C-alpha cells in the first residue's frame, strides 16, 4: 500500500468543489481547477501570492474573507457559511467550509472548500434549496476530512510541509540523488496464501503491513509501493537527509524485532506464523514524479533499485542483508553476523553483502541470536527436491537424505547440483510413501564435501526452510520427539 503526495494533486484536480489552502504567512499555496472556474481567477496569477493582495481589495467579498479569518481565529471548529462572491461574470452564491489544515496533530495552514450554489438559491422551492445546501455542506466536510486524512495516513509530517511550501514539487520530472532503498518480502507467503482462505490472507497482510508502516514512518522512510506482501521503501527522498543509510538499517532491524508481535497476533487468531527477509542498498537513482498528466506516481528508477531486489532475494527468514555501499555510509557501530560474495544477475562484478545483526550508538537495536538446535534423526528421512529458478520450480527432481533436523533447518546428503543461496522446493512423503506436502521451500546456506562419505558427487548441504506448511511442521515434530 505506498502512496505519495501525487494522490493529493489527483484528488484536488478531479474534485468539483473549489479548494484553496493558505499558509500562516498569508500565501496562497493550493488553488485547484474547480476554484479557478468558480471564482473566475487564473491559478497561475495567484499561487504563492499574498491572500490580502488578491481578495481584500474588494469590499463586496467581505463575507467570503470573514469565513477565512474565522478559521484562523477560531481554529478549534469548522466554519460553514453561505456567502456572496463578486466574480467576473457577476455575483455568485457560494457554500463555503473553512478549517485549519492539520498533519499529525500540527496545524500548518487553513483550507477552504467551496461550491457554487447560485442556481440553487434561485429555486422557487426554498425548502428544496435548503436541503440541497445541507447535502452539499455535508459532502464538503467529507471531502475536507478525506484530504486531511490522506496527508496524515500516507505522508510524514516533513513531506506534508514540503508539499504545502513547494507545490511545484508535484510537477512531472525527476532528478538523480543518492538514497538508500529497502525491499522487504515475506518468505514463502505466496505458497502459504494458496492454502488459506482469502479473508485470512487479507487479515494477516493487513496486520503485518500496519505494523511495518508505523515503524517505517518512525524512521522517516517513504513507502513507494506495496507489491503484494513486499514493501519498497525510500530513505533520503523526497526529503533529503544525510543519515539515510543508518536510518534504513535501524528501521529494518526494528521491523524484524516487531515480527514477534505480528506473529503473536497470528497465533491468537489461529493463523500461521510468517517470516520476513529484508535487503538494503545505497546508491544513485532517479527519483521524481513519473507518468502522465492523468496518472502520476512518485517513483524511483535505476540499477540500484534492481540491485536492492537482488540483495533481498538472498535473505532467509529474519535476516537483514546490506550492500557495501550502505555499510560504508553508516557511522554507528554495526554487528555483522557474516558476509558473503555474490554475483547478482545483471551485475558485472561480484559484490559483498553483509548479514546485519544489530546497530549500536543512538539506536541500540539487536536481533536475538538463533537458537535452533539440529538433532540427529534415528531413522533416515528421504525427500525429493527440485531447484527453483526465479518463479520456476523446475521439473527435475533429486533425492536427498535428511540426517539432521530442527524446526527450521536441516542437514542433507544429496547429489543435486545446488550451491549456497540456491532456492529449493521439497516433496515430503511419509513411511508409507504417501505425499505429505509438496509446498515446503528452503534455501541452501552452506555446502560442503563430508569426510564421512566416500561416494563421489555426494555433498552435505545445510538448508534453512523459508516456508513450512502446518502438516510438515507436525510431521517434523513427530520425528524430533
Last residue of a domain, one of 316, 339, 366: 366
The mean pLDDT of 425-443, rounded to a whole number, is 88
Does residue 389 sit in the same domain as residue 360? no
Helix pair 157-165, 126-154: axis angle to 10 deg: 120
Q: Look at residue 355 and give its three-state secondary structure.
A: strand
Task: Give the per-residue pLDDT at 329.
Answer: 96
**Domain at 380, CATH number:** 2.40.10.220
- Residue 214 falls inside a structural domain: yes
pLDDT at 330: 96
The answer, yes or no, to whether residue 127 has pLDDT greater than 70, is: no
pLDDT of residue 433: 84
Residue 440 structural domain: 375-480
Q: How many distinct structural domains can be found in the chain?
A: 3
Q: What is the CATH number of the domain that holds 107?
A: 3.30.450.20
Regarding whether 193 and 118 lie in a shared domain, the answer is no
Residue 24 falls inside a structural domain = yes
Question: Do residue 156 and residue 177 come from a single domain?
Answer: no
Quickly count: other Cβ atoms within 10 Å of residue 70's Cβ. 17
Question: Closest by alpha carbon to 469, among 51, 246, 187?
Answer: 187
Q: Kindly report, residue by residue over 260-285, the tens digit of the pLDDT.
A: 999 999 999 999 889 999 999 999 99
CA 452, 455, 460, 466 dihedral sign is negative
C-alpha span between 430 and 438 (Å, rounded): 12
Is pLDDT of 72 > 60?
yes
Which of residues 224 and 159 earns the better pLDDT score? 224
> Is residue 288, in this structure, part of any structural domain at all?
yes
Q: For the ranges 268-272, 409-413, 444-448, 452-456, which has the lowest average pLDDT?
A: 452-456
> Kind and range of the H or E element at 475?
helix 470-480
**Residue 168's pLDDT band (boundaries 50, 70, 90)?**
low
What is the CATH number for 226? 3.30.70.1230
pLDDT recorded at residue 232: 93
Query: Is residue 412 very low, low, confident or very high in pLDDT (cuts 50, 70, 90)?
Result: very high
Mean pLDDT, to the nearest integer, of 429-438? 87
Q: What is the mean pLDDT of residues 378-392?
A: 84
Residues 204, 328, single domain; the answer is: yes
Is residue 351's pLDDT more than 90? Answer: yes
Say whether pLDDT at 40 is over 80: yes
Indicate whether 1 belongs to any domain: no
Q: Is the pLDDT of residue 183 over 80?
A: yes
Of 133, 168, 203, the residue that ends a domain is 168
Q: Of residues 329 and 103, which shows the higher confidence score?
A: 329
pLDDT band at 122 (very low <50, low <70, confident <90, very high): low
Same domain, 270 and 343: yes
**Do 152 and 234 lie in a common domain?**
no
Same domain, 295 and 355: yes
Per-residue pLDDT, averaged over 63-81, amounts to 85
Residue 338 to residues 68, 145, 406, Cα–Cα distance (Å): 60, 49, 21
Report the 3 state secondary structure along 392-429: ECCCCCEEEEEEEECCCEEEEEECCCCCCCCEEEEEEE
Compute the distance between CA of residue 103 and CA of residue 161 in angstroms, rounded to an integer.
9
pLDDT at 360 over 90: yes
CA distance 400 to 34: 68
* Lowest-pLDDT range of 19-28, 188-197, 259-268: 188-197
List Cβ neighbours of 157 (8 Å cut-off, separation of 6 or more). Answer: 103, 104, 106
Residues 121, 106: Cα–Cα separation, whole Å = 37
Rounded CA separation 456/471 (Å):
34
Bond into 324 cis (ω within 30): no
Question: Is there a single domain that holds both residue 88 and residue 211?
Answer: no
CB atoms within 10 A of CB 364: 11
pTM to 2 decimal places? 0.63
pLDDT band at 450 (very low <50, low <70, confident <90, very high): confident
Please indicate, yes or no, whether residues 10 and 28 belong to a single structural domain of this protein. Answer: yes
Asked if residue 133 and residue 242 are part of one domain, the reply reads no
pLDDT above 50 (res 154): no
Is 63 contained in some domain? yes
Do 291 and 437 fall into the same domain? no
Lowest mean pLDDT among 61-65, 150-154, 284-288, 301-305: 150-154
Q: 431 pLDDT band (50/70/90 cuts)?
A: confident
Predicted confidence band of residue 2 (pLDDT cuts 50, 70, 90): very low
Please report whether residue 260 resides in a domain: yes
* Among 249, 276, 246, 261, residue whose Cα is nearest residue 211: 261
Predicted pLDDT at 476: 87
Note whether 189 and 128 are same-domain residues.
Answer: no
For residues 122 and 288, which has the higher predicted lDDT (pLDDT)? 288
- pLDDT interval class at 369 (50, 70, 90): low
pLDDT for residue 1? 40
Q: Is residue 121 part of a domain?
A: yes
Q: Does 162 score more than 60 pLDDT?
A: no
Query: What single-letter DSSP state applies at residue 430?
Result: -
The reported pLDDT for the residue numbered 230 is: 92
pLDDT of residue 320: 96
More confident residue, 209 or 346: 209
pLDDT value of position 140: 64
Is 110 part of a structural domain of the chain? yes
State the Cα–Cα distance between residues 77 and 456, nearest whole angstrom. Answer: 81
Q: Are 310 and 457 in contact, with CB atoms under 8 Å apart?
A: no
Average pLDDT of the segment spanning 42-57: 88
Q: Which is more confidently placed, 14 or 358?
A: 358
Amino acid at each position: 500500500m505506498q502512496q505519495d503526495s501525487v494522490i493529493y494533486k489527483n484528488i484536488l484536480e478531479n474534485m468539483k468543489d473549489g479548494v484553496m489552502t493558505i499558509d500562516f504567512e498569508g500565501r496562497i499555496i493550493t488553488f485547484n481547477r474547480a476554484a479557478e472556474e468558480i471564482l473566475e481567477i487564473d491559478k497561475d496569477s495567484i499561487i504563492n501570492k499574498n491572500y490580502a493582495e488578491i481578495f481584500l481589495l474588494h469590499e463586496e467579498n467581505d463575507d467570503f474573507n470573514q469565513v477565512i479569518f474565522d478559521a484562523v481565529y477560531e481554529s478549534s471548529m469548522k466554519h460553514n457559511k453561505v456567502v456572496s462572491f463578486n466574480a467576473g461574470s457577476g455575483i455568485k452564491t457560494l457554500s463555503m467550509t473553512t478549517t485549519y489544515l492539520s498533519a499529525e496533530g500540527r496545524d500548518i495552514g487553513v483550507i477552504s472548500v467551496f461550491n457554487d450554489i447560485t442556481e440553487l438559491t434561485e429555486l422557487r422551492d426554498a425548502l428544496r434549496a435548503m436541503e440541497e445546501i445541507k447535502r452539499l455542506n455535508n459532502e464538503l466536510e467529507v471531502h475536507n476530512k478525506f484530504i486531511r486524512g490522506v496527508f496524515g495516513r500516507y505522508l510524514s509530517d516533513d513531506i506534508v510541509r514540503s508539499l504545502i511550501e513547494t507545490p511545484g514539487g508535484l510537477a512531472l520530472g525527476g532528478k538523480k540523488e543518492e538514497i538508500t532503498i529497502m525491499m522487504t518480502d515475506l518468505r514463502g507467503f505466496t505458497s502459504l496464501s494458496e492454502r488459506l482462505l482469502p479473508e485470512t490472507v487479507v487479515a494477516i497482510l493487513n496486520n503485518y503491513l500496519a505494523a511495518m508502516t508505523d515503524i517505517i514512518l518512525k524512521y522517516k522512510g517513504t513507502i513507494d509501493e506495496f507489491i503484494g506482501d513486499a514493501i519498497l521503501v525510500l530513505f533520503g527522498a523526497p526529503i533529503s537527509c544525510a543519515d539515510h543509510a543508518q536510518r534504513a538499517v535501524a528501521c529494518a532491524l526494528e521491523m524484524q524485532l516487531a515480527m514477534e508481535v505480528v506473529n503473536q497476533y497470528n497465533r491468537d487468531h489461529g493463523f500461521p506464523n510468517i517470516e520476513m527477509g529484508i535487503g538494503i542498498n545505497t546508491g544513485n537513482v532517479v527519483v521524481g514524479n513519473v507518468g502522465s498528466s492523468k496518472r502520476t506516481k512518485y517513483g524511483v528508477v535505476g540499477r540500484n533499485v534492481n540491485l536492492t531486489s537482488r540483495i533481498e532475494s538472498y535473505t532467509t527468514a529474519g535476516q537483514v542483508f546490506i550492500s557495501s555501499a550502505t555499510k560504508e555510509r553508516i557511522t554507528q557501530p554495526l554487528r555483522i553476523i557474516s558476509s558473503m560474495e555474490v554475483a547478482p544477475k545483471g551485475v558485472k562484478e561480484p559484490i559483498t553483502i553483509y548479514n546485519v545483526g544489530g546497530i549500536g550508538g543512538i539506536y541500540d537495536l539487536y536481533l536475538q541470536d538463533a537458537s535452533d538446535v539440529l538433532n540427529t534423526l534415528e531413522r533416515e528421512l528421504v525427500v525429493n527436491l527440485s531447484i527453483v529458478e526465479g518463479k520456476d520450480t523446475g521439473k527435475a527432481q533429486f533425492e536427498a537424505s535428511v540426517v539432521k533436523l530442527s524446526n527450521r533447518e536441516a542437514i542433507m546428503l544429496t547429489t543435486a547440483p545446488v550451491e549456497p543461496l540456491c532456492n529449493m522446493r521439497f516433496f515430503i512423503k511419509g513411511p508409507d510413501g504417501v505425499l505429505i506436502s509438496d509446498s515446503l521451500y528452503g534455501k541452501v546456506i552452506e555446502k560442503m564435501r563430508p569426510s564421512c562419505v566416500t561416494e563421489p558427487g555426494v555433498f552435505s548441504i545445510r538448508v534453512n526452510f523459508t516456508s513450512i506448511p502446518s502438516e510438515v511442521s507436525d510431521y517434523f515434530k513427530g520425528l524430533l520427539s
